[in-house]
C-alpha cells in the first residue's frame, strides 16, 4: 500500500513539473514571437521604417536630427517603438507632413504606453500639444502615430505602432 501511494505521489509531482515546464516554454515562445527583440536601439539600421524615412527626408531638406533616443517596445507580430528627439527648426513641420498629424482631442487617454523606457515620459510636460497620425483610428490597419510636441522645451515624443 505504501509503494502505491509513493508511486502515485511521484506521478503527480512529475505531472506538475511537466505542466509548469510547458507553461514556461510557451510563455517564452509567445514573448519571442509577439515581442521579438526589444530594448534600446543604438544602430540607425534598426530604427523603424518611418523614422528612417523621416531622417532621410530631413537630410534632403537640411533639417537636423538631434538628441535622438529610440526604444523598441516590441518587434515581433506587433511592432511598437517610442522615440524622443529635439525639436530642431523645421523638424515638427516635417514630421507633421510625413506622418499626416492632426490634433489629438483625447490626449490624456493615450498616455502612457506600456513598455516605454523611463526617459520617454511626456506626462511631465504641461504645455505640450499632442497629435495623432495616419491611420490612428482604432481598428484601422497601417502605421499609427502618437506625437507629443513641447515647443518651449524643444522636445518631440513619438509613439509608433505598425498595425500591419
Give the pLDDT confidence of 57-66 residue by residue, as tens digits: 999 999 999 9
pLDDT 10s digits, 15-27: 888 888 888 777 7
How many domains is the chain built from? 2
**pTM of the complete model:** 0.74
How far, CA to CA in Å, does 149 sit from each of 18, 79, 82, 108, 127? 51, 22, 14, 14, 9
* Helix/strand/coil for 36: strand
Query: Residues 96, 18: one domain?
Result: no
Say which residue, 118 or 35, is predicted with more confidence: 118
| 140 pLDDT more than 70 | no
Query: Residues 51, 109: one domain?
Result: yes
Query: Residues 85, 101: one domain?
Result: yes
Q: What is the DSSP letter of 70?
A: E
- The residue range of the domain holding 4 is 1-35
Query: Residues 114, 62: one domain?
Result: yes
Minimum mean pLDDT among 19-23, 66-70, 119-123: which range? 119-123
Give CA–CA dist 17/25, Å, rounded.
12
Query: Residues 48, 113: one domain?
Result: yes
Beta strand 79-86 with 101-103 is: unpaired
Amino acid at each position: 500500500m505504501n509503494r502505491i501511494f509513493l508511486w502515485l505521489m511521484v506521478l503527480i509531482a512529475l505531472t506538475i513539473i511537466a505542466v509548469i515546464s510547458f507553461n514556461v516554454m510557451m510563455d517564452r515562445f509567445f514573448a519571442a514571437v509577439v515581442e521579438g527583440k526589444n530594448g534600446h536601439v543604438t544602430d540607425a539600421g534598426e530604427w523603424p521604417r518611418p523614422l528612417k524615412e523621416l531622417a532621410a527626408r530631413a537630410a534632403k531638406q537640411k533639417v537636423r536630427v538631434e538628441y535622438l533616443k529610440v526604444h523598441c517596445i516590441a518587434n515581433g507580430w506587433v511592432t511598437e517603438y517610442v522615440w524622443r528627439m529635439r525639436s530642431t527648426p523645421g523638424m515638427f513641420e516635417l514630421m507633421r507632413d510625413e506622418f499626416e498629424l492632426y490634433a489629438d482631442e483625447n490626449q490624456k487617454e493615450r498616455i502612457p504606453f506600456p513598455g516605454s523606457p523611463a526617459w520617454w515620459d511626456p506626462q511631465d510636460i504641461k504645455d505640450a500639444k499632442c497629435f495623432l497620425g495616419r491611420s490612428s483610428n482604432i481598428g484601422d490597419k497601417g502605421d499609427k502615430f502618437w506625437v507629443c510636441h513641447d515647443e518651449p522645451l524643444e522636445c518631440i515624443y513619438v509613439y509608433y505602432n505598425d498595425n500591419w
